[in-house]
A and B are shown apart, each in its own frame.
Chain A
């Protein structure tokens, strides 16, 4: 048996193993960041172990910068070498010698497909041997099986077997089952299209490598984009005329689509999903579920949108300023207004107030002007204020742009009930809405 160990720089999902199906059907992923490939029967397809190792190394470094790899007889030795002697290709039957001059602490990586059951036990074993003056693996290799077994039982036995290359671990063929998705969270939200496209391309590359390994094609790609400030999600569907594995084609379609859409603000999260198919397109299932009410609603909205009508549902927002306190959403979503919260701890409780939660119950005009309309002194004089003192005083945003308004009910000369505010910062009156 000959094993290639790919040591990825950070934790990856099990789906990563599918990328390396190109090198052998026998691939194994071990949580959180190792992939083992049995190359004994496939190396010749790449012109020998050297050729396969070069290609694997290139691929892993392209997709996962900082990754390392090594080839040895057993998965355990390959893992240790990938960690401590990266990119070493050990000749058959020579791994014991290769391990010999490694420090004792290398023992912690001598795992392969099966991780140490109790890492602390191995760590304490290493500490113990250090305290006895043993510093190298070859010194530990001199300790007899019975001495190790006597002191550490099964773990001692496994250590001895792995040190002497006698722990055979079989890599089984991998059956792909993982969904073809990539998720990205941007620590610093992305607002430039080229940067977004760059990230998208990297993700697509990884997904298409998996497609290649699985021997499948992409019917369509779905991009989910999450905007940072507006908290909105965009769904972009890319569907070429026929299933394809051409990354350039997909990138072009994505670029065109993104250029059409106004994303409003930076992207915080992105996920890409590939809908795959084998070379033959699947037929629709006759027994697929009937259309739901939600589907009907979606269809209706689609029709309206097709006709360029502004449609949507008013959804109250927990905001202090009236113009921010509702939004139109394409879908009907339940209200999620902030309320007082109560933390319970046994018999005791703590109330965390939402001081302005009742703003959502405050009277608001049936027609709120999109932009408050400044009132000239002449026009103001014609208005009759119903209350001398403001009905509401709203202040907000002192940490950014201060806003302070006193709201009044007023009647126009025609008897129309108006909503007027006095901007306390600009010292200017505005008309903000009409009541029915």
Chain B
């Protein structure tokens, strides 16, 4: 046993002990949970704690990155208005950013913390981190000592122990007087030894020491969470972690008196931290982001060029003359853009959209600034701003100084072309994608917590199953369940505590769906870039909110399936019917289209095809474009949770008086009958009748746009809102309703501008469905997968609207669905893309050959000409596409299986044994109608000629006596009638806002109908829904305001084998149900 007893008694420098209030200290080694499993506090918590303890400053130096610095910076510079208490010392507090880099040297791995002294140092740090992370996986670093020494300028280095003299000398040669040795006291023997070593290095080698706390958490209470993170890092349990854990909870931010006591021997080391901080002149706010200069014709300024383009665009948009009001608005917007120097941003967007237009890629802008006259003129959006009264300043505000936010949706199938264009045009150094920080959610947090506590996997699964989608709340409310899972109350409580603590902690970085940061200078001078999980994609270490805080502009290049579908529809109309249609030139306010919408005949239509939307349409009865804007925005969690839907409908139809809780609300809510529906209205309400300052209103907007809500923040917001509204004499109940709407918006809600952009697509898709159903259906089928409905449902809907389909045929079908004219009618020819698993390249090769050399004469001819793999041939055969060669599906499959497909064989394209196919005497069974249906469903998911329920219908009565109702008969039955129906389950929905209700979309041969399941009925029959598609439903018919639902009482699987047996008694085997 060691007896190395040595009393550590460093030489006392100051005889007079300083008072705590004389102590000044800056923590230079702050660390947050953005060190991924190495830190146990959020960045905001770290800086707020340092502020409240009276520190002079704090440097956040996470491991190998700058992930959390903006959040910390925001907490210091723009603290939340809704969090109490406000920290008064913030004026003297300085925030610094830095990074702790893990470096490889000949003597092994060591860590050094780097702090930028100025903006050049910051750029160098970003480049160093990028260098370390470029090809490294999450949490890995690849930095070497020589690279570090090469990029040392303008950086302060704090070399972390263990120290070796030779390595320190190397660092000193590079960093000179910018190198420091940090020492800390955490009541561990190791820290004492290191301190002694440091004193030695100081006295003998002249190194400069500085005191720190090396904090891994902001408060000692986070030690358990830190231990849990350590266990996750090592993949072990608390029981087995042993010395992997910290030996005590001293690595936190300590009060100054405690620090004074701890360092009473050497208070100069505390002061040293302040002196180092004084050397740092850099502040994140200094980052002067420069937008890339757009290509501007020589001799023109960006302002002039933007003005020219706007004027050109306005002449194009208004060929009959630009209205004066529009011209004035344009002038006003250009003025604001000029004042804020946003010309390059708009010009860059214009450039990207011009590229898309040139490539025939349909797009549409949306977002805060999208629905402006300038955007309309530049072609970024097709929403005529004169038709929707939206204020430009509401979105680009001089006062807020925030960058504009314009998202552009492109055809999702061709978005990659736009991304590649951006990379090509600006270069990988100047354009990178924005990250999203993936955080622990309830399920994962619980799983990890349980693993760390050593709870068996089967128990974890059981707990997670019980938790369902309700999150940890359900578990907290049911502590009695612990016994069922064989957990002791204490163990269960620990599990809850750990999981709750872990929830919201960052786990890794993902790629934002389409956010791009484009900069004039190399991006790596501004923010580190690292490898994303997706191959050849790199992301910056900040997310979109971080960019907003630093006033950097990002461009969102998003994908939207409907844009592609519309583009394809326009092309079909042009090619086949000679019609030149585009988004901006569709006949507006078409009455017939609105009549169709009012009947909820909207399968396939953008945004209003869901069950919830369809049930609202007959009640809302939209007659104008603005009605569609409301329709799109109202079925969202915000208005639903706020209970705004029914009041709006009643008021719109004059069934309820339009009232306002306060006269000041009238101008805000008049256009929506006194009911708040849009995000902007909520912000205006908060400002007008709750007395929110512009800063508070802006934070409210951020909260509503964020999916991560901190409970204390929401509680503060609620209190502030209720107090403000009560002061204005608004009743508590209304104030609470507004708060609930905000909570809903925070999950997902639409601003008006956004809804207007979407409503345009809704109108366009409705118009096309109404007037050109065959072209619209064809384009939807060619854009799959997208939307709410499967191709089977889309085809069935089109057939009910009189659209006829032609089957797959190798001699005629193209890859895509296409239109064919017969006897003056337009029919849809099924495309080969419908066949599951058929590779596009093989199909295209075959079609190319058919175009060049004409139709195929036989199967042998097809095989010889196209050399297709067997799988492809079998899929074509099973889909019935070879009927054009005279081969029925079963016959085709039997023959294809016998073919020699090796091209170098003498028997190529012939049977291996039966050269003469007449010699093959095998008799294949005749295909029954049901078998044919199954084959079609297996092969391409639909049947053009028959529906499974239609086939079973004749014998349903024989199987079970009584009336079997069809979907098309519902309208003739009285409300409240008890019905029995048979149907094919199309979709199940259980929206979180529906309080446990479930909704089924079920189809039969005559149409689709909705089935409502109460929570108890759903619980009782959920296994029937989960494992069967052909089902029998008994329920009562509900009719209200033109909406028809079947309220289910019971469900049962249809015994298909038994029913079929009643049709064909010879067929005894039990067939499979279509998948």
Contact = CB atoms under 8 A, between A and B. Distances in A.
B141 A349 contact: yes
A159 to B, nearest CB: 14
Interface stretch (A6-14, A175-183, A362-370): A362-370
B249 to A, nearest CB: 6
Interface residues on A, range: 35 or more
Interface string B901-926: 00000000001111000001110111
A105 interface: no
12 contacts: A132-B890, A133-B925, A320-B242, A347-B136, A348-B136, A350-B137, A353-B244, A354-B244, A355-B243, A359-B190, A359-B243, A396-B245
A88 B142 CA distance: 66
Interface string A411-436: 00000010000000000000000011
A255 interface: no
B189 interface: yes
B188 A358 contact: yes
Interface in B341-392: none
A342 to B, nearest CB: 6
Contacts of A352: 233-234
B924 A368 contact: no
A345 B133 CA distance: 12
B223 A366 contact: no
B127 to A, nearest CB: 17
A393 B925 contact: no
A349 B2 contact: no
Contacts of A387: 7-8
B4 interface: yes
Interface in B859-911: 878, 890, 893-894, 897-898, 911
Given A358-B189, A417-B5, A318 B243 contact: yes
Contacts of B242: 317-320, 338
Contact of A345 (B3, B140, B224): B140
B829 interface: no
Interface residues of B, number: 70
Contact of B187 (A337, A359, A392): A392
Contacts, number: 185
B248 A349 contact: no
Contacts of B968: none
A239 interface: no
A151 B494 CA distance: 62
Interface in B12-49: 38
Contacts of B3: 363-366, 435-436
A45 interface: no
B845 to A, nearest CB: 24
A313 to B, nearest CB: 13
Interface stretch (A32-40, A141-149, A213-221, A291-299): A141-149
B627 interface: no
A318 to B, nearest CB: 4
Contact of B921 (A139, A144, A346, A348): A144
Interface string B762-787: 00000000000000000000000000
A395 B913 contact: no
A363 B911 contact: no
A134 interface: yes
A389 interface: yes
Contacts of B890: 131-133
A424 B880 CA distance: 81
Nearest to A314: B1
A286 interface: no
Given A147-B914, A361-B189, A395-B247, 4 more contacts: A132-B925, A359-B188, A366-B3, A392-B188
Contacts of A342: 109
A345 B188 CA distance: 33
A356 B246 contact: yes
B2 A361 contact: yes
A338 B247 CA distance: 14
Contacts of B111: 351
A131 B893 contact: yes
A357 interface: yes
Interface in B139-171: 139-142
B142 A347 contact: yes
> What 6 A-B pairs come out closest when comparing CB atoms?
A348-B136, A393-B187, A133-B925, A348-B142, A362-B189, A348-B140
A390 B913 contact: no
A307 B67 CA distance: 65
A150 B914 contact: yes
Most B CB within 10 A of own CB, among A317, A318, A395, A436: A395
A330 interface: no
A135 interface: yes
A137 to B, nearest CB: 13
Contacts of B1019: none
A151 B897 contact: yes
Interface of A: 128, 131-135, 139, 143-144, 146-147, 149-151, 314, 317-320, 326, 337-338, 341-343, 345-366, 368, 386-387, 389-396, 398-399, 404, 406, 409, 417, 435-436
B200 interface: no
B453 interface: yes
B1056 interface: no
A2 B187 CA distance: 79
A347 B140 CA distance: 10
B87 interface: no
Nearest to B878: A131
A57 B966 CA distance: 56
A394 B247 contact: yes
A348 B924 contact: no
Nearest to B494: A399
Interface string B571-600: 000000000000000000000000000000
Contact of B1 (A346, A349, A366): A366
Nearest to A320: B247
Nearest to B1068: A135
A135 B104 CA distance: 65
Interface in B911-965: 911-914, 920-922, 924-928, 931, 935, 938
A68 B798 CA distance: 55
B5 A390 contact: no
B913 A146 contact: yes
Contacts of B921: 144
Nearest to B230: A355
Nearest to A339: B243
B530 to A, nearest CB: 11
B912 A150 contact: yes
B577 to A, nearest CB: 40
B894 to A, nearest CB: 6
Given A131-B935, A399-B453, A365 B7 contact: no
A338 B835 CA distance: 57
A85 B7 CA distance: 82
Contacts of A143: 922
A348 B135 contact: yes
A349 B142 CA distance: 6
A346 to B, nearest CB: 7
Interface in B113-141: 132, 135-137, 139-141
A191 to B, nearest CB: 15
A355 B912 contact: no
Contacts of A394: 247-248
B102 interface: yes
Contacts of B714: none
Contacts of B913: 146-147, 149-150
B322 interface: no
Given A355-B246, A362-B2, A349 B189 contact: no
B5 A349 contact: no
A392 B189 CA distance: 6
A318 B139 CA distance: 26
A103 to B, nearest CB: 9
A134 B897 CA distance: 15
B1069 interface: yes
A393 B188 contact: yes
Given A144-B922, A146-B914, A393 B893 contact: no
